[in-house]
Amino acid sequence: MLIEINSFDDIPLQLRNTPIGELLEYHNLDKKIEPCTQAQLLIGMCMDNRKSIRIPDNYAFIIRSGGANLRYSEFKVSFAIAIGNISHIALIAHTCCGMVDLASKKDDFVSGLAKKAGWDLQFAEEHFNHFAPLFEIGNENDFVVSEANRLRNRYPKVTVVPLLYKVEDNRLYLIDENNSNQYSK
């Protein structure tokens, strides 16, 4: 279940006046961009070129990785927390993600590496077979919720919130992880 943020009142009370709430205000509600001198949060999001988040300069550390999968960026997450004093992580999946159903993209992937990178077909196929299982995310919503839970377990004092970016309307949505409207207003 997605929670639309169309006004300040749509932001759940527990997220208001937090870096996550401000992210929603900046991106969805066109909050005035004010100068920022230090990062307020870490944003983990996909490398997809169709997504751009509206925030002030210097507002966030941003890690872009296929499917918003931060498993292989954990040292960078730890750095943002330990050195950058970050206590909030916005984990942003998006619709129409290329990391979903990677198996269906195998032939294009292999032939693309052969044609565009000069790779041997067998080597390109082995590359795909080795790495695709590591980066396949399944369903965008389910993956970002599971990744948020993994990060919460790893960093119990850090607030981690899964969000969905709809490519269709360029807006951020909160994901109600339990389909129970966990965010009270």
pTM of the full structure: 0.91
| Mean of pLDDT values over 4-8 | 97
**pLDDT tier for residue 160 given thresholds of 50, 70 and 90:** very high
Q: Could you read off the pLDDT of 85-128 as tens digits, one per residue?
A: 999 999 999 998 889 999 999 999 999 999 999 999 999 999 99
Could you identify the residue written with the tokens 């997809």? Answer: 48
**Alpha-carbon distance 70 to 63, whole Å?**
8
pLDDT of 185 over the 60 cut: no
**pLDDT tier for residue 159 given thresholds of 50, 70 and 90:** very high
Radius of gyration of the chain (CA): 18
**Full set of structural domains in the chain with CATH:** 2-98+139-175 (3.40.1050.10), 101-136 (no CATH)
Which tokens is 116 given? 């565009």
- To 10 degrees, the CA torsion angle through 148, 152, 154, 158? 120
Q: Could you read off the pLDDT of 123-155 as tens digits, one per residue?
A: 999 999 999 999 988 899 999 999 999 999 999
